[in-house]
Structure 1
Amino acid sequence: MKKIAVVLSGSGYLDGSEITEAVSLLIALNQAGAEVSCFAPEVELSVVNHIDGKATGEKRSVLVEAARIARGHVQSLSKLHAKDFDAVAFPGGFGAAKNLCNWAEKGAKCDVNPEAERVIMDFFNASKPIGAICIAPALIARVLGKQKVTVTIGEDAGTIAEILKTGAQHEECPVDDYITDRETKVVSTPAYMYGDAKPNQVFAGIFGLAHELVEWA
C-alpha cells in the first residue's frame, strides 16, 4: 500500500483548503489503494465569512481548522518528510495562496512558508510525485519554476501570466482532466479554478490525478 501525504491549508475555500477538492482527493486516493495522512502548517489564518466573502478580523490556527476536514487526524507540516511517504498532494482553495504562501498578494514574487517549501523540495529531490489542485500549482511553480516544471490552473490568463514569470511552464486543461510533467513528476488539475464547475467535474479531474499519483508512487 502506497503512503500519500496530503497538505491542507485550513478549512473553507476563501481562507483555507477547498473542502470539495480536499474530500475528493482523500476519497480518490483511498479508492486507488493508498494510505493517506494529512498535514498542515502551524500558522494562523485570517478568517473570511463564507456567506458575504468579507474578512471578519478573527485569527484561527491553520492546523486546527484543517483538523475539521481530516476528522482530527492531522499533524504539523514540520513532521512531514519525503523519506516516510511515496507522494504528496496539495488541494487548492485560497489557503494554498494565503497560508502556504502569499501568492494571493504577491503573485510570482510571493514568499513561501518555509515548511511548505522544504516539503516540496524534499519530494522533488527524492524524485517522488507531487500533486497540485486548483491554485496549488502556482505554489509548486514558485518553488520549482527554475526546474521548468509544467503545471495547469486551467485557462485563467492572469494566473497563467504570473506562473510563467516563475520560470515554470503552463498547459491549459479542462476541469475534468489533469496534466502530468514526467520530468519533475508533478501532476496538476484545475478543479475550482473553473468557478462554475460542478462537483462531479471537479472530482473527475482529481480522481485522475490521484490515480496517476499512486501509479507513479
Structure 2
Amino acid sequence: MAAVRALVGSRLAAASAFASLSPGGRTPSQRAAIHLSAPHPAAKVALVLSGCGVYDGTEIHEASAILVHLSRGGAESESRNVLTESARIARGKITDLAKLSAANHDAAIFPGGFGAAKNLSTFAVDGKDCKVNKEVERVLKEFHQAGKPIGLCCIAPVLAAKVLRGVEVTVGHEQEEGGKWPYAGTAEAIKALGAKHFVKEVAEAHVDQKNKVVTTPAFMCEAALHHIHDGIGAMVRKVLELTGK
C-alpha cells in the first residue's frame, strides 16, 4: 500500500494516501491469500486515503468496508503505505501519491470522511468554490482520460464533481428529511459545480456509465452500519465490473 503528503497552498497541511490492491500472484504480500473463489481475475485498484478518522481524515469504516469488498472481489493488498496516520489503516512503507499512475492500476477508489473535504480539497471551507489537491486532481483526470473506473463514497464525490465537468454522482438525498440526511445540502453544491446529482438510497450506488464514475452515499445518511456497508459493496462491485477484469 502507498500513501502521500500533499498540499494545496498553506491550507492543506495534512495528507492523503493511496493503497494499492493487486490481484493474487502479481505482487508479493505479507497477508493471507485472498478468496480464490472470485469470479474473475482481480483488478489492481488504488485506494486513496486522506488520513485516519472521520473528522480530519478518512472514515475508517468506509475504508475498511472498501478493503473487505475488494478482497471479496479477489484483490490482494500489498504491504506498502503512506503517512503515519493513513498507515493506521493501510500499513506499510510511505510512498508519494505523485507515484500513483493510471498506467499501473485498473481503477481508483476514494473513501469519504472529512479528510476528503479538508485534506484532499478545500470543500469544507469553500464549498462550491473549493480547490482540489493538485495530485488528487491529476489522479482523477488521468484515470478518467484512460477510461478507467473511479469509485467515490460519502463526501468524496465532490472531488469528481469539481474536477470532471458534467459527471454524474450521488451523495444520497437532496432534503434532510428530519435529520436522516444531515448533509443533504451537498447535493446543491454538486449541482453548482456543474455536475449532475442523482438521488439514491444508502444501500445503492449510482453508475455514470459514460465517465465510469461510481458513487454511493455511505455516511451521508444516518443509517445502520450494515446498510452503509451494503452501499459500499455495491459501489466496489460496479467499479470492478467496469474494469472488465
Is the shorter-chain TM-score for this pair beyond 0.5, marking a shared fold? yes
**1:102-141 maps to which residues of 2 (within 5 A)?**
102-141=122-161
For 1:137 and 1:74, locate their aligned partners in 2 and report how far apart those are by CA, in whole Å.
Answer: 26
Q: Could you tell me how far 1:28 is from its partner in structure 2? A: 0.3
Alignment partner of 1:11 is 2:38? no
For 1:36 and 1:170, locate their aligned partners in 2 and report how far apart those are by CA, in whole Å.
Answer: 32
2:198 corresponds to which of 168, 171, 182 = 171
For 2:237 and 2:94, locate their aligned partners in 1 and report how far apart those are by CA, in whole Å.
Answer: 22
For 1:23 and 1:12, locate their aligned partners in 2 and report how far apart those are by CA, in whole Å.
Answer: 12
Hey, which of these two has a bigger chunk of helix by percent? 1
The answer to whether the 8 Å contact 2:81/2:92 transfers is no
3-state SS of 1:175 partner? coil
1:23 corresponds to which of 61, 64, 67 = 64
The answer to whether the 8 Å contact 1:187/1:212 transfers is yes
Alignment partner of 1:204 is 2:245? no
The answer to whether the 8 Å contact 1:131/1:209 transfers is yes
The one-letter amino acid paired with 2:213 is V
Give the TM-score normalised by the residue count of structure 1.
0.85
- Structure 1: tracts of 5 or more residues without a match: 41-62
For 2:158 and 2:188, locate their aligned partners in 1 and report how far apart those are by CA, in whole Å.
Answer: 11
For 1:205 and 1:34, locate their aligned partners in 2 and report how far apart those are by CA, in whole Å.
Answer: 19
For 1:39 and 1:190, locate their aligned partners in 2 and report how far apart those are by CA, in whole Å.
Answer: 26
The one-letter amino acid paired with 1:184 is N
2:173 corresponds to which of 155, 164, 168 = 155
For 1:36 and 1:87, locate their aligned partners in 2 and report how far apart those are by CA, in whole Å.
Answer: 14
The answer to whether the 8 Å contact 1:17/1:94 transfers is yes
The one-letter amino acid paired with 2:196 is Q
CA RMSD across the alignment: 1.4
Deviations 1:162-199 (A, max 9, x none): 100111000011111111000000000000001x2221
Q: What is the number of residues matched between the two proteins?
A: 192
* Identical counterparts, % of pairs: 47
Q: Could you tell me how far 1:74 is from its partner in structure 2? A: 5.5
- Structure 2: tracts of 5 or more residues without a match: 1-41, 175-183
3-state SS of 2:171 partner? coil
The 3 A distance-change label for structure 1 pair 105 and 209 is same
Deviations 1:58-82 (A, max 9, x none): xxxxx22111000235532111000
The aligned counterpart of 2:26 is none
Q: Could you tell me how far 1:151 is from its partner in structure 2? A: 0.2
For 1:73 and 1:189, locate their aligned partners in 2 and report how far apart those are by CA, in whole Å.
Answer: 30
Give the TM-score normalised by the residue count of structure 2.
0.75
3-state SS of 2:95 partner? strand
Larger radius of gyration: 2
The one-letter amino acid paired with 2:75 is A
